[in-house]
Amino acid sequence: MMADPLLIGVAGALAMLILILAGMRIAFAAGLVGLVGLIVLRGFDPAVGLGGLLAYSEVSHYTLSVVPLFILIGYLSFHAGLTQGAFDAARAWLGRLPGGLAVSTVFAAAGFAAVSGASTATAAVFARVAVPEMLKSGYSQRLAGAVVAVGGTLAALIPPSAILVIYGVLVEQSIGALLLAGFVPGLVTAVVYAATVMITVKLDPGLAQPEPVRSFVEKLRALKSASGLLAVILIIVGGLYTGWMTPTEVGGVGAFIVFVMALARRETTRRDIAVALIDTAKLTAMVMTIVFCALIFVRFLGFTGLPPALAEMVAGLDVPRLYVLLAILGVYLVLGMFIDGLGMLLLTLPVVFPVILKLGYDPIWFGVIVVKMIEIGLITPPVGLNCFVVSGVRPDIPVETVFRGAVPFVIADLVTVGVMIAFPDIVLWLPGQMAAGGE
């Protein structure tokens, strides 16, 4: 006699959690449990056959081709001088504000985020570009380290965002709409971060020193150094917004421009390009391995009937839906402290997403909220990856110092999430305006 499929589903979810806690790589933990579960439910041959089928079919979608292209842009843009250009321009225009260099870092990171989809990569790049400048100008390590770590999180919201693409694939939502939906919340977050910098510096002026005055000509010249970046941003956001290009085409054209810019710079060596290509293949493989393994697990959960049963149960609870949402976000906040964002998405979405739909929340909006929660996880202890990255690039700044510096930004982030829950149009307005035909 076979056990209740629901029970098998619960056992599978628990087994995966235990394997992940034991240090098994998240992709393999999900895939192994999914495959064993399918074998239990469907028999050996059909299960293994299905596994091999999913490994091919789930990674060979045209839709997913945006992922390597966005990653390629991220790795090439450092060599194209886009980061330095963005920082110089932001510094010339915003340097005079209280904590001006830190504010500049936030906006330069926001600009860079518009060509890069990976949060930790952005933090690593700015730890090299912006931290030395801030420390030279007498900024405290705490502010300089923290602002780079939190600035990196903007990359996951402002399009192109790799993690929003993965969300879209896991829950089958429009990638174009998701990418656009992150744009306004990303800008809002950048402004909130800048305000947080200015307030902390006003409260504790010892954290930062003022910048010298720049002439208008100097400002214009600095703007020129950011022109390449502006061109790529225009293509990505414009292409998505008008529906003139598919997300993949936006990625391809953006990558092409950055590629040409990188080749045009004399400092770029053939080796740099080769390393960028290999790194692209590595990060793409990391993401795609998770994608197909996660989908094997999702298929297994589907056969158990656990997700809809859970959604039914939660929907039947006699509490306002906002409480359920807050409880889910609370779980994300705690999980985010311990688990990497991609792992978190894959662990939770198969069960949480049906609940969210059942409660009547918008799937695009929820994607942006979840990504925001994931990003908070990147700047909170004990495993806030962005803070470790900053401290990894700058071993003179202890990771505890970065975490301490990030506290005001975490509070600001939680307020931002609250505002997005109260006013969902912040997220949904732009994709709602999107021209028809955008994928």
Query: Which of 247, 243, 232, 245 shows the shortest CA–CA distance to 61?
Result: 247
Q: Residue 22, interface with another protein (CB under 8 A)?
A: yes
Residues in the interface with another protein (CB under 8 A) total: 75
Measured in whole angstroms, how far is the alpha carbon of residue 110 from the centre of its chain? Answer: 12
379 with 189: CB under 8 angstroms? no
Piece of 97-105, 307-315, 326-334, 386-394 that binds another protein (CB under 8 A):
386-394
The residue range among 15-23, 89-97, 200-208, 298-306 that interacts with another protein, by the rule CB under 8 A, is: 15-23
Question: Rule CB under 8 A: is residue 35 a binding residue for another protein?
Answer: yes
Query: Between residues 175 and 342, which has the closer beta carbon with respect to another protein?
Result: 342
Distance CA 308, CA 304 (A): 10
Place of tokens 């994300």: 332
**Cβ closer to another protein: 34 or 100?**
34
Among 16, 40, 41, 55, binds another protein (CB under 8 A): 55
Among 12, 16, 37, 65, binds another protein (CB under 8 A): 65
Name the segment binding another protein (CB under 8 A); options: 14-22, 140-148, 189-197, 419-427: 14-22
Q: Given the rule CB under 8 A, which of 43-51, 175-183, 365-373, 409-417 is the region that contacts another protein?
A: 43-51
Binds another protein by CB under 8 A, chosen from 27, 113, 163, 368: 27
- In angstroms, what is the minimal distance from the CB of 38 to another protein? 11
CB of 252 to another protein, least distance (A): 3
**Binding of another protein by 49 (CB under 8 A):** yes
Tokens 């929820």 appear where? Answer: 366
- Residues numbered 243-272 forming contacts with another protein, rule: CB under 8 A: 244-245, 248-249, 251-253, 255-256, 259
Tokens found for residue 400: 């505890």
Pick from 16, 41, 72, 232 the residue near another protein by CB under 8 A. 72
Look at the alpha carbons of 385, 410, 106, 202 in this order and tell me if their dihedral is positive or negative: negative
- Examine residue 212 and tell whether it contacts another protein (CB under 8 A): no
Structure tokens at 43: 């028999």
The residue among 145, 131, 180 whose CA lies nearest residue 160 is 180
Instruction: Give Cα 381 to chain centroid, integer Å.
Output: 18
Quick one: which of 358, 365, 366 has its CA closest to 317? 358
How many whole angstroms separate alpha carbon 10 and alpha carbon 17? 11
What mask, x for binding another protein by CB under 8 A, covers residues 351 to 370?
Answer: --------------------
Distance, CA of 161 to CA of 242 (rounded, Å): 18
Q: How far is the CB of 46 from another protein (least distance, A)?
A: 11
Under the criterion CB under 8 A, does residue 435 sit at the interface with another protein?
A: no
For another protein, the binding residue among 392, 398, 407, 414 (CB under 8 A) is 392
Helix (H) or strand (E) holding 348: helix 341-358
Smaller CB distance to another protein: residue 125 or 134? Answer: 125
75: contact with another protein by CB under 8 A: yes
Contact between 31 and another protein by CB under 8 A: the answer reads yes
Under the binding rule (CB under 8 A), the answer on residue 284 touching another protein is yes
Asked whether 388 and 127 are in contact (CB, 8 A), the reply is no
**Cα distance between residue 431 and residue 32, in whole Å:** 37
> Which parts of 314-343 interact with another protein (CB under 8 A)?
338-340, 342-343
**404 is a site residue for another protein (CB under 8 A):** no
Q: Are 353 and 173 in contact (CB under 8 A)?
A: no
> Closer to another protein at the Cβ: 302 or 392?
392
Of 105-164, which residues contact another protein (CB under 8 A)? 120-121, 124-125
* Segment contacting another protein by CB under 8 A, of 44-52, 135-143, 224-232, 323-331: 44-52
Q: Which is nearer to another protein, 117 or 408 (CB)?
A: 117
- For helices 227-242 and 216-225, the axis angle rounded to 10 degrees is 60
Instruction: Name which position in 153, 174, 200, 289 contacts another protein (CB under 8 A).
Output: 289
The DSSP code sequence of 252-300 is: HHHHHHHHHHHHHSTT--HHHHHHHHHHHHHHHHHHHHHHHHHHHHHHH
* By CB under 8 A, residue 14 contacts another protein: no
CB distance 139 to 201 below 8 Å: no
Q: Classify residue 22 by burial, with Cβ atoms within 10 Å: 0-12, 13-18, 19+.
A: exposed
Nearest-approach distance from CB 57 to another protein, in angstroms: 9
Does the CA dihedral 389-258-117-342 come out positive or negative?
negative
User: Two tokens at 382?
Assistant: 């004990």
191 binds another protein (CB under 8 A): no
List the one residue from 10, 11, 32, 198 that touches another protein (CB under 8 A): 32
- 381 near another protein, rule: CB under 8 A: no
